[in-house]
Chains A and B, each alone.
Chain A
Amino acid sequence: MYFDETHEAFRASIRRFVDKEINPYMDEWEETTAPLHELFKKMGDLGFLGIRYDPKYGGQGLDYWYETVMLEEIGRIHGMGVSTAIAVQTNMATPAIAAFGSEYLKETYLKPAITGDMVTAIAVTEPDAGSDVFAIKSKAIKKNGYYVLNGSKTYITNGTQADYLTLLAKTSDEPGYHSFGLFVVPTNLPGFHVSKKLDKLGLRSSDTAELFFDNVKIPAENVIGDDREGFICQMKQFQHERFAVLPGTCVGVDNMIAMTVDYLRQRIVFGKPLITKQVLRHRLAGWLMRNEALRQLTYHIVKMKMEGLDATKEVSMGKYLAGQLISEVAGGCLQMYGGMGFMNETLISRYFRDARIMSIGGGADEVMLEIIARLEGF
């Protein structure tokens, strides 16, 4: 109903790619983190990284439905680390360059992100500013044709491998929202340091870093749009980021339930397969019902985006629901697996660890609820 045969042909191709090029390596990458240059180059060659972007810069010029197919299929990856790394590249670090960047930035930085020749990261969060983006302290002060950047960023996905960061910094000390700039910061500039690779509960196949900037001279042409409107640009970019997690969540939840049902069919307890226990059956059915609601909201958001409508409220609702649901399902399925679920060799334990980020990253649940309340006018 939502997808035609061309979408399905694309789905088949990316599914095959995930099955052959990603899933067989996930166990290894959980230990070592995924080699993103190698992986993204393969994906870029197949046109998977620039679905909505302008063909002028190597994109496919296709619509949100095609993007949704891609985001659904990376939800089939065994764990959420690599799908997060991919979504950073396609939906978190590059939309602002495509929407507000100069010809030079699109040619120099968007294009290689689409072809997979460069790995990108989004650098907003700081040690003292997470949900409160407004409180960031990194400063990029214009001086002699450069913006001199000082400060630090943390929890940066792809941070140790990125060739450039899309980075938000204060450009003046004036109060208010019009004192921020969004920059493209190449990581080979002098003064850029990876302070450390962070050790995380989940998403272990993806690298996360703390970054430090010591008088990094960002060329003036690397500012995305107006050097005082970076906050606004980033808030718009966040909409793409938050939407990006919805399609994959629906698929991930379906997969967790399917693998759990398979296990419950085989697991005999007190002489009967566990799947015959009504208490378990009803919990599974309830999750499927809520997941279907999330899927319908996701498709509704896609329709809104296709119509050019502002979907901020719906995206915030979807992001909140996705975070709540995936954690509950991962924890609940793990419980049904019993001792097996507690073992690292069982995939559900990885989902359990990975799912937890969904209520935190890209805008915490509490922030999503606050946005909804504000948009409702109370």
Chain B
Amino acid sequence: MNIVACVKQVPDTEALIKVKPDGSGIDEGGIKWVMNPYDEYGVEEALRLKEAKGGEVTIVSVGPARAMETIRTALAMGAEKGVHVSDPLLDNTDAYTTAAALAAVIKGLNPDIIFCGQRAIDDDSGQVGSILAAILGIPQVTIVTKLEMADGKIKAIKPIEGAQLVIESTLPCVITTQKGLNEPRYASLPGIMKAKKKPVDVKNAAALGIATEPKAKVAKMTPPPDRAPGKIIAGDDPAAKAAELVRLLREEAKVI
């Protein structure tokens, strides 16, 4: 099987995010970067599929030079090779352009199945997998928590409000992965050493022949307003304090 897993490098979930003073983006100083957790499920599922059915796993990522670390992490987990689309023109680009870059790479790989995280935890846009499937003209099953493959078809489970859908699809298709699909493995030390020698193709936008002008731009980023300080009701009379609390909840907080 020819399996592709798309990965994005994102700030660590525990990183303290600060917006740049000019609102053009986040301040990247001091941030630790990790593989998008939803993409990890995709990499893990790709590896399990390879281990069960044979074949190879190719990791594809669009991102700045540092995204190479994330590709190496996936290679250390057990993928065979990588493609890194690295181009300053694509830094912080939109979902459509990212998907177009991925599609340009993936077309040449002739995959049987493609995994994407259902969304990235940084911009939370949740569009790349779907746009990728549309550009490639193949089916997609999104937010998958269980996957089986038999007779050249996949059967995927997708939770919905109060129930779950069982969806069958032909191959090739795009699967976007959700928490619960699997428990991603740790990169072993031998895996990390081997990953150094695995091939990673680095390509820019020109080589892929894609337009770099994003269709959507982030106009401005603003942090959420600071939480207002709490209010302490002073006084010695519990009854009066309770009455004041009720009045404040009703008139100021307007919750009762």
Mark A residues whose CB is within 8 Å of B: 5-6, 8-10, 12-13, 16-17, 45-48, 51, 60, 62, 66
Contacts and interface: CB of A to CB of B under 8 A. Distances in A.
Contacts of A60: 189-190, 193
Interface of B: 34, 69, 72-73, 76, 186-193, 195-196
Closest 5 CB pairs of A and B: A47-B189, A13-B187, A46-B188, A47-B190, A9-B192
A51 B189 CA distance: 8
Contacts of B193: 6, 60, 62
Given A12-B73, A13-B76, A6 B196 contact: yes
6 contacts: A6-B196, A8-B69, A9-B192, A13-B76, A46-B188, A66-B189
A9 B187 contact: yes
A9 B188 contact: no
A33 to B, nearest CB: 24
B236 to A, nearest CB: 22
Contacts of B187: 9, 12-13, 46
A17 B188 CA distance: 10
A9 B190 contact: no
Contacts of A51: 189
Contact of B188 (A5, A12, A45, A62): A45
Contacts of B192: 6, 9-10, 13
A12 B196 CA distance: 15
Nearest to B68: A5
A131 B196 CA distance: 45
Nearest to B190: A47
A10 B188 CA distance: 8
A100 B142 CA distance: 57
Contacts of A6: 192-193, 196
A47 B190 CA distance: 6
A16 B195 contact: no
Nearest to A10: B192
In this complex, the member of B186, B187, B191 whose beta carbon has the largest number of chain A beta carbons within 10 angstroms is B186
A164 to B, nearest CB: 24
A45 B73 CA distance: 17
Contact of B186 (A5, A16, A62, A66): A16
Nearest to A48: B189
B186 A46 contact: yes
A9 B186 contact: no
In this complex, the member of B72, B73, B193, B196 whose beta carbon has the largest number of chain A beta carbons within 10 angstroms is B193
Nearest to A16: B186
A13 B186 contact: yes
Contacts of A46: 186-189
A10 B155 CA distance: 36
Nearest to A60: B189
Contacts of B73: 9, 12
A53 to B, nearest CB: 12
B12 to A, nearest CB: 10
B69 A5 contact: yes
A66 B72 CA distance: 18
B195 A13 contact: no
B61 to A, nearest CB: 15
A108 B69 CA distance: 38
A13 B72 contact: no
A262 B188 CA distance: 33
A17 B186 contact: yes
A29 B76 CA distance: 31
A49 to B, nearest CB: 10
Nearest to B196: A6
A8 B69 CA distance: 10
Contacts of B188: 13, 45-47
A13 B192 CA distance: 9
Nearest to B32: A12
